[in-house]
Amino acid sequence: MSLLLNQTKFFVFTGLFLLATNLFAQNPNFYIYLCFGQSNMEGQGAIESQDSTVNNRFKVFQAIDCPNLNRTKETWYAALPPTCQCYSKLSPADYFGRTMVENLPDSITIGIINVAIGGCDIRIFDKDIYQDYDSTYAESWFTTKVEAYEWNPYQYLINLARLAQKDGVIKGILLHQGETNTGQALWPSYVKKIYNDMLTNLSLNAESVPLLAGEVLSAEGSCCSSMNPIINTLPDTIPTAYVISSRGCAGQDYAHFDSEGYRTLGRRYAIQMLSLIGIKTNYAEPEKSSEGKN
């Protein structure tokens, strides 16, 4: 009987110790943001000299093994671009993080996790029907990217996020997607399901984890600017969603922003996120046009 009692005490003590260790390991001042979408969230902007240094308080949780970058997946690194795939480029996530650390106390560290796939339909991130969209394009440029996320980008992102939650606290979700779904009025409902699934699977609540969704390229001659009015209805479907304007962001082609466009868009994501916690920035915006609500 005494042996059983001692064993019980040992297991209880061990469980409490492990729980306490986990709690103390999680840093409440480490703010983590999940990023997902298609090619603009991957990043297609040229990485220039001004992008080659970064504050060490801005981290990226490496999503895949990248020998060319000397990075191993599931490891935190200083967030030098590329912050998505091994050969992606500058992304709005880059200047989101940089702007966040510039405007937060030195005690706060910012981390991002970026899982994005050029050309994807938003429903590839729907955990129930993703298999219908993991071969939207038969070309290897697409399927190779999906394969890198083990053919299930949603679950891959969730698995990374669960690991990252041991280190910090998820504070928001950033989305840039819509080009492939241009004209689809049901897009906000697709996003709502994915967002709600993320909150449920990661034990998060919407009030403390807002969703920020960026407009697609709106410059003259762009392929998909007609999607922006649909994107701008997202807050009607998700009360904790906020739309980030692409107004004035230049493009390098018909679908992708140029480097400065990514920097501006990334700053806007950060300005919105900072405003939600009561922090104003000095970043000057051009006068607001009538292209849609922000």
pLDDT at 8: 47
Strand pairing category for 58-61 and 211-214: unpaired
Domain membership flag for residue 291: no
Domain membership flag for residue 20: no
pLDDT at 24: 47
Catalytic residue among 94, 256, 258, 259: 256
Catalytic residue among 189, 253, 275, 289: 253
Cα Rg of the chain (Å, integer): 20
Catalytic residue among 39, 91, 222, 225: 39
Strands (E) located in 50-159: 58-61, 76-78, 109-116
Which residues sit opposite 128 in a β-bridge? none
The model carries a pTM of: 0.89
Amino acid at position 274, single letter: L
What is the SS3 assignment for 117? coil
Domain membership flag for residue 257: yes
What is the SS3 assignment for 44? coil
39 is catalytic: yes
Domain membership flag for residue 104: yes
Domain around 62: 29-276
pLDDT at 285: 62
In total, how many domains does the chain have?
Answer: 1
Q: Tell me the C-alpha distance between 264 and 269, whole Å.
A: 9
256 is catalytic: yes
Give the sign of the dihedral formed by CA 162, CA 164, CA 169, CA 172: negative
pLDDT at 135: 83
pLDDT tens-digit readout, 76-116: 999 999 999 999 999 999 999 999 999 999 999 999 999 99
Domain membership flag for residue 292: no
Domain membership flag for residue 142: yes
Q: Taking a C-beta distance cutoff of 8 angstroms, is the pair 101, 116 a contact?
A: no
Distances (CA, A) of 222 to 212, 263, 281: 22, 19, 30
Six-digit token string for 92: 């709005």
pLDDT tens-digit readout, 153-172: 999 999 999 999 999 999 99
Q: Tell me the C-alpha distance between 202 and 15, whole Å.
A: 22
Positions in the chain whose pLDDT score sits under 70 = 1-25, 285-294
Place of tokens 């949603």: 154
Domain membership flag for residue 44: yes
Query: 83: domain CATH number?
Result: 3.40.50.1110
